[in-house]
């Protein structure tokens, strides 16, 4: 078993913050946020995007209309709506609590900075789900949704698997467990949310639960930046600590994640949602896994899957670029770039 890693000290008076000696992990930082000298330019770029994406769930309008619309959903749609929100709530709850544990071992101030913003965004996402539930469903249903995993074996197994990977590193913080936890985080951010997002996007496409979909579009925009953060962390580990890096671990964990995601999505959506089938779920999940591997410089795991089956949702994939959701024009632009000046400005 590899030696235990050491969390960075709060203050290290003998540390060295110079760019030439800065490392993604296991560096000797002083603990001071010297952001005038930056080694990882991608972190600076991500900071600009993440701060520019600032939003608040309370500012998204129309949830009262969704409360009325929810009563008109068929039973399969209502069950899926509640089950998907339960899982997404768990994911963002886990991230809010766990991200600071990762940051304890990151020894680059610019990367620590964006991880703190990510943690804040994950908390905002949890508040978003609370805002949705407070408006759309009854108090009894809210309690059932938060603790759906107590009654649903498939969701319990899913949640426990993710939580156990993180806990494994907290209990034994060695190199191997750290890398596994980082990969788990990448897969959580890049795979586990997206069949749920596709469900809400499909409802919106069918003119249902428009405000919920609007909220989800902002959450998805944030999550895509989180995918980029951890893809870059993995690539920096490969570059600086090749002995820790394992493509086999990444591929093996991705295959498990894909199978779990397909199983869960088929369990909660199945063939009962207009526009989504068990077949489309399998193709979409494997296609998405291929895209996530390519982001890490790894060959597609499923080479026969080359296209997403959800062509009707393509215009709903990117809120930062030229493509926007068809309902996007009704949402306030929260970009705060005018207040961000200096060397980290927009």
Query: For 137-143, which contacts have Cβ atoms below 8 Å and span 24 or more sequence positions?
Result: 137/67, 137/70, 137/82, 141/82
Predicted local distance difference test score (pLDDT) of residue 40: 97
Predicted local distance difference test score (pLDDT) of residue 313: 78
Q: Is the pTM of this model over 0.75?
A: yes
Q: Is residue 31 part of a domain?
A: no
Q: Determine the average pLDDT of the residues in 7-27.
A: 94
Predicted local distance difference test score (pLDDT) of residue 231: 98
Q: pLDDT exceeding 70 applies to what percent of the chain?
A: 90
Q: Is residue 95 part of a domain?
A: yes
Q: Is residue 26 part of a domain?
A: no
Q: Determine the average pLDDT of the residues in 117-142.
A: 96
Q: Please, which pLDDT band fits residue 311 given cuts at 50, 70 and 90?
A: confident
Per-residue pLDDT tens for 238-262?
A: 999 999 999 999 999 999 999 999 9
Q: Determine the average pLDDT of the residues in 68-74.
A: 97
Tell me: pLDDT of 333 over 50. Answer: no
What DSSP assignment string belongs to 212-242?
HHHHHHHHHHHHHHHHHHHHHHHHHHHHH-T
Query: For 305-310, which contacts have Cβ atoms below 8 Å and span 24 or more sequence positions?
Result: 308/283, 308/284, 309/279, 309/280, 309/283, 309/284, 310/198, 310/201, 310/202, 310/275, 310/280, 310/284
Per-residue pLDDT tens for 183-204?
A: 999 999 999 999 999 999 999 9
Q: Is residue 339 part of a domain?
A: no
Predicted local distance difference test score (pLDDT) of residue 312: 76
Per-residue pLDDT tens for 83-103?
A: 999 999 999 999 999 999 999
Predicted local distance difference test score (pLDDT) of residue 195: 97
Structural contact between residues 346 and 52, judged by C-beta atoms closer than 8 angstroms: yes
Q: Please, which pLDDT band fits residue 319 given cuts at 50, 70 and 90?
A: very low
Annotated catalytic sites, by residue? 129
Residue identified by tokens 């991705």 is: 254
Predicted local distance difference test score (pLDDT) of residue 343: 47
Predicted local distance difference test score (pLDDT) of residue 93: 94
Q: pLDDT exceeding 90 applies to what percent of the chain?
A: 88
Predicted local distance difference test score (pLDDT) of residue 321: 41
Q: Is residue 9 part of a domain?
A: no
Per-residue pLDDT tens for 116-128?
A: 999 999 999 999 9
Q: Determine the average pLDDT of the residues in 225-233.
A: 97
Structural contact between residues 315 and 324, judged by C-beta atoms closer than 8 angstroms: yes
CATH number at residue 205: 1.10.620.20
Which of residues 151 and 311 earns the better pLDDT score?
Answer: 151
- Tally the domains of the chain: 1
| Nearest-angstrom CA–CA distance, 86 and 66 | 17
Per-residue pLDDT tens for 26-37?
A: 999 999 998 999
Predicted local distance difference test score (pLDDT) of residue 316: 60
Tell me: pLDDT of 337 over 60. Answer: no
Q: Is residue 184 part of a domain?
A: yes
Q: Is residue 211 part of a domain?
A: yes
Q: Worst-scoring range by mean pLDDT, 78-87, 92-101, 325-334? A: 325-334
Predicted local distance difference test score (pLDDT) of residue 315: 65
Tell me: pLDDT of 331 over 60. Answer: no
Q: Determine the average pLDDT of the residues in 1-6.
A: 82
| Domain hosting residue 57, numbered range | 38-321
Q: Please, which pLDDT band fits residue 314 given cuts at 50, 70 and 90?
A: confident
Helical segments of the chain, H only: 41-52, 63-71, 75-103, 109-136, 139-146, 153-171, 175-187, 194-205, 210-240, 247-268, 278-295
Tell me: pLDDT of 271 over 60. Answer: yes
Predicted local distance difference test score (pLDDT) of residue 320: 43
Q: Is residue 15 part of a domain?
A: no
Mean pLDDT of the chain: 90
Distances (CA, A) of 207 to 173, 213, 274, 288: 48, 10, 12, 25
Q: Determine the average pLDDT of the residues in 143-165.
A: 94
Q: Please, which pLDDT band fits residue 1 given cuts at 50, 70 and 90?
A: low
| Nearest-angstrom CA–CA distance, 40 and 184 | 22
């Amino acid at each position: 078993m590899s030696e235990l890693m050491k969390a960075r000290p709060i203050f290290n008076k003998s540390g060295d913050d110079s760019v030439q000696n800065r490392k993604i992990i296991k560096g000797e930082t002083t603990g001071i946020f010297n952001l005038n000298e930056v080694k990882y330019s991608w972190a600076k770029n991500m900071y600009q995007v993440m701060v520019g994406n600032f939003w608040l769930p309370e500012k998204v309008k129309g949830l009262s209309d969704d409360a009325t619309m929810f009563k008109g959903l068929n039973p399969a749609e209502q069950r899926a709506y509640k089950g998907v929100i339960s899982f997404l709530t768990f994911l963002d709850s886990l991230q809010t609590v766990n991200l600071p544990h990762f940051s304890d071992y990151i020894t680059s101030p610019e990367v620590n900075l964006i991880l703190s913003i990510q943690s804040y965004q994950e908390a905002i996402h949890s508040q978003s789900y609370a805002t949705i539930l407070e408006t759309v469903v009854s108090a009894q249903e809210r309690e059932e949704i938060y603790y759906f995993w107590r009654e649903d074996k498939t969701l319990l197994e899913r949640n426990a698997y993710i939580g156990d990977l993180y806990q494994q590193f907290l209990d034994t913080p060695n190199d191997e467990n750290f890398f596994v936890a980082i990969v788990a985080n990448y897969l959580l951010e890049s795979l586990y949310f997206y069949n749920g997002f596709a469900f809400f996007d499909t409802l919106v496409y069918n003119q249902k639960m428009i405000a919920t979909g609007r909220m989800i579009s902002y959450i998805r925009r944030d999550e895509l930046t989180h995918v980029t953060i951890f893809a870059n962390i993995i690539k920096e580990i490969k570059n600086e600590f090749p002995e820790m890096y394992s493509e086999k671990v990444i591929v093996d964990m991705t295959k498990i994640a894909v199978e779990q995601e397909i199983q869960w999505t088929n369990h909660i959506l199945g063939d009962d949602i207009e526009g989504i089938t068990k077949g489309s779920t399998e193709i979409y999940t494997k296609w998405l896994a291929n895209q996530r591997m390519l982001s890490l410089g790894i060959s597609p795991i499923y080479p026969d899957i080359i296209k997403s089956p959800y062509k009707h949702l393509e215009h709903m994939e990117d809120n930062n670029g030229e493509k926007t959701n068809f309902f996007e024009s009704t949402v306030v632009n929260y970009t705060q770039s005018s207040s961000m000046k200096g060397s980290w400005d927009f």
